[in-house]
Amino acid sequence: MSVETSPVPFTAEDFAQRMARAAEQAEAAGLTGILVTPGPDLLYFTGYQPIAITERITLLALHGGRSPSMIVPVLERPDAEAARGAPALTLADWTDGSDPYAATTALLEQGGRYAISDSAWAMHVLGLQEALPDSTYVSMTSTLPMLRAIKDADELERLAAAGAAADASFEQIAKGQFAGRRESEVAADLARFLRTHGHSEIDFTVVGSGPNGANPHHEYGERMIEEGDMVVLDFGGIKDGYGSDTTRTVHVGEPTDEEREVHEVVRLAQQTAFEAVQPGVECQVIDRAARKVIDDAGYGEYFIHRTGHGIGLTTHEPPYMIEGDTNELEPGMCFSIEPGVYLSGRFGVRIEDIVTVTAEGGQRFNNTRHELQIVA
């Protein structure tokens, strides 16, 4: 058995470069700066993840032409100082009983226009508005959706490893028994396999059998899987800090001609969308490519969700492969391509790979076969 090694940790220089690049992007977007609160954004820029996200404000401020600064509760300062991105930061703190928003205004500019993390607590945004009434705050995703979208080589390595681990988990589950077992039992096996292959967190283990597969957000239940069922398997989580997410649809026993046809339509839609991946192509073009195949086959009304979503520190993040998203693909972007057809009360089919953009086109991080697989 091969022994997996952990990736080399990101360095202080890595985090400093990320913060500097973000400040430049903010200036280019006409913003005064960026305000980052606990969650994936703060982890990305500093390597710091508070043990618990509480009502106490923690905030990173990034401005063009100024050193990055962060304010934390005084009791959490030792942990913040130990973060890998701390050498690039000017750290400030505040104590319980004092006004945290008055302390935070020292990091900001009066009258500034700031993008703020989508995960910021409303009470903190309102507190900052009261402390700096002439300043305005806009959503990070709406103004800087590509802030974490371009992955560097180390991030791509982690995403590729997470994808390979998910593939290995699928190969294991496909060899097991489906008929006569509950969806929840198969889901538990999937979670166990993901952990065996290095995942520290399991985000979801969808097992949608028969009519349950026609609900894209069905997770798993106590339905007994039967001979003749189509089964949607959609699963993923976090490995070494980065996400996996893949879907394959299998069939218990011999499928009908209709089931084969629907699966082949989805397979072709997924492949066509993948072949559309090129630098400079708008995200919505990927959605259009998949949707046209399904529309032309007569199943357009049964494809009821976007074609894909970005992935990185979280399993769902910008960019989105959906009509109206005009962001252009760039090398290093990573996202899912996951068209589906859902026939209510009967069965569903979805096929999903994580894909990264290269100078030449697309590269898959999931490589299990797309053809309809028969399971026992």
Fold of the domain spanning 153-375: Creatine Amidinohydrolase (3.90.230)
Reduced to 3 states (helix: H, G, I; strand: E, B; else coil), residue 201 is: strand
Model pLDDT, residue 8: 85
> Tokens for 247?
């879907």
The residue extents of the domains of the chain are 12-143, 153-375
The secondary element (H helix, E strand) that includes residue 127 is helix 122-131
- Classify residue 48 as exposed, middle or buried by CB count within 10 Å of its CB (0-12, 13-18, 19+): buried
| CA gap 235, 303 in Å, rounded | 20
Residue 52 is given by DSSP the state S
> Tokens for 235?
């699963």
| CA gap 179, 177 in Å, rounded | 6
Model pLDDT, residue 217: 87
Residue 352 is given by DSSP the state B
**CATH class of the domain whose range is 12-143:** alpha beta
First to last CA, the chain: 27
Read off φ and ψ for residue 347, nearest 5 degrees. -165, 165
Residue type, 98: S
Model pLDDT, residue 300: 97
Which pairs from 92-100 meet CB under 8 Å and 24+ separation?
94/57, 96/56, 99/131, 100/56, 100/57, 100/71, 100/73, 100/127
Model pLDDT, residue 4: 60
| CA gap 254, 363 in Å, rounded | 32
Q: What is the pLDDT along the chain (376 residues), one digit of tens a residue?
A: 344 668 889 999 999 999 999 999 999 999 999 999 999 999 999 999 998 777 899 999 999 989 999 999 999 999 999 999 999 999 999 999 999 999 999 999 999 999 999 989 999 999 999 999 999 999 999 999 999 999 999 999 999 999 999 999 999 999 999 999 999 999 999 999 999 999 999 999 999 999 999 999 899 999 999 999 999 999 999 999 999 999 999 999 999 999 999 999 999 999 999 999 999 999 999 999 999 999 999 999 999 999 999 999 999 999 999 999 999 999 999 999 999 999 999 999 999 999 999 999 999 999 999 999 999 9
| CA gap 89, 71 in Å, rounded | 10
Residue type, 57: I
Gyration radius from the chain CA atoms: 23
Model pLDDT, residue 3: 42
